[in-house]
Amino acid sequence: MRKLLLGTTALAAAATLTANAALADVSISASTEWHYINVGSKDATLDGNKFSQDSEIAFKFTNKLDNGLSLGYTVELESDANAGGAGLIIDESSLSISGGFGTLVLGQNDGVATSYTIGAEDATSEETAGSMASATIKTATDIDLDETDNNKIAYHLPAMGGFKLGVSFEDAGAGSAAANKSDITAVGGSFTADAGGSTVTIGAASVTKTNSAGVDDDAQSIGVKVAAGALTFYAAQGQTEGSDEDIQATGVGASYNLGNGLTIAAYTMDAEDDLDAGEEYSANSFEAAYTITAGLTAVINVTEYDYKAGTNNDNSEAADDGTNTKFVIKTSF
């Protein structure tokens, strides 16, 4: 009798779990990129060729509750060590709760700044910066300081007439100084409108990162994207301030869809640090992307860069200039 009761209980539990699981929609997606990179640098330790790869698998679960709320859980597995994978295995893992109030995101994910900012580099599908080993200069106009996958809380307002807004907070926690972690607060927003047949989007964000030394790091970015048929134009300005850093970066970019699967793009940007006299970085990037078939794309990206270390050389930066060429085969499933 006891065995029959245990068996019946187990079957009932399994049926309950199956019924609950059926309420959730599950999607699995994957992407992988194979890279051939050629770096032409004055630094012999950086100069040369290499292969690399970046692959990701994402599992997404969504569930619509009877009270109108939507629950979501996303976990991403990342293979590239530079993108947070390999040793970490799980790159991002977060829970979202959505409703008429907006969306609340809890867990390991980027801060909100990266969701709203626009950079000149967005014109190209592959962003390839210079390969300087020790430079502290910005190499992009986009926001920085906020691209961590540490545990945080984020809130996004519901879209209102083309306007979107979000805020996030990352708590460094106990022992943060020893762990080299900081409190990070970010806020970002965007506005999209039609203008004479074109779609114009303005995006901006601000990030503050606390440091145990008492000098906070601050970053701001503002950019505009104008899409008119096959042509898309980008313009952006970014700034980062901190201990001995006051870096300004500006840039413009554009992409053009030639049809038949071929898109060409380019951007140019410049950055300088007002507190490190003479420290400057400039880059010109050119790209051609060809869609071989749905889900399979080949990209060739060439970036010419020039870095000047400046006279106030606090971190022993070495001047460098050269070319970074990347050939990419990417696919998605």
* Residue pLDDT, tens place only, 90-148: 778 999 999 999 999 999 988 899 899 999 999 999 888 777 655 678 889 988 777 77
Q: Taking every pair of C-alpha atoms in the chain, what is the biggest distance, in angstroms?
A: 86
- What's the sign of the alpha-carbon dihedral 39, 45, 51, 54? negative
**More confident position, 37 or 316:** 37
Residue with tokens 């994978």: 85
In a domain, 240, yes or no: yes
Most confident of the ranges 22-36, 124-138, 290-304: 290-304
In a domain, 261, yes or no: yes
- What's the sign of the alpha-carbon dihedral 289, 293, 295, 298? negative
Mean pLDDT of all residues in 185-200: 94
pLDDT band at 201 (very low <50, low <70, confident <90, very high): very high
Residues 42-87 pLDDT 10s:
888 888 999 988 888 999 999 999 888 999 999 998 876 555 545 5
Q: Which range among 6-10, 210-214, 238-242 shows the weakest confidence by mean pLDDT?
A: 6-10
Q: Name residue 257's beta-bridge partners.
A: 263
In order of 4, 11, 21, 44, the CA distances from 8 in angstroms are 6, 5, 20, 70
Question: Whole domain around residue 178: which residue ranges?
Answer: 26-332
Percent of the chain having pLDDT more than 70?
84
In a domain, 14, yes or no: no
pLDDT of residue 178 exceeding 80, the answer is: no
CB 59 within 8 A of CB 24: no
> What is the domain-level CATH number for residue 67?
2.40.160.10
pTM score:
0.84
Joined tokens for residue 262 = 């071929």
What's the rounded Cα separation, in Å, for the pair 203 and 205?
7
Q: What is the pLDDT of residue 134?
A: 59
In a domain, 277, yes or no: yes
Q: What is the pLDDT of residue 153?
A: 95
In a domain, 250, yes or no: yes
What's the rounded Cα separation, in Å, for the pair 331 and 321?
32
- What's the sign of the alpha-carbon dihedral 305, 311, 317, 318? positive
In a domain, 15, yes or no: no
Mean pLDDT of all residues in 202-215: 85
Joined tokens for residue 128 = 């390839």
In order of 121, 185, 254, 269, the CA distances from 251 in angstroms are 8, 25, 11, 4
What's the rounded Cα separation, in Å, for the pair 53 and 37?
11
DSSP 3-state assignment of 196?
A: coil
Average pLDDT over all residues of the chain? 85
Q: What is the pLDDT of residue 16?
A: 41
In a domain, 2, yes or no: no
Q: Name residue 49's beta-bridge partners.
A: 38
Nearest to 305 by CA among 23, 105, 41, 45: 41
Q: What is the pLDDT of residue 212?
A: 62
In order of 70, 92, 107, 275, 283, the CA distances from 100 in angstroms are 10, 25, 21, 46, 44
What's the rounded Cα separation, in Å, for the pair 54 and 79?
6
In a domain, 21, yes or no: no
Exposure string for 84-101, b = 16+ CB within 10 A, e = fewer: bbeeeeebbbbebebeee
Q: Which range among 75-89, 122-136, 153-167, 240-254 shows the weakest confidence by mean pLDDT?
A: 75-89
Helix, strand, coil fractions of the chain, as percent rounded to 5: 10, 55, 35
Joined tokens for residue 56 = 């990701």
The number of distinct structural domains making up the chain is 1
What's the rounded Cα separation, in Å, for the pair 290 and 161?
35
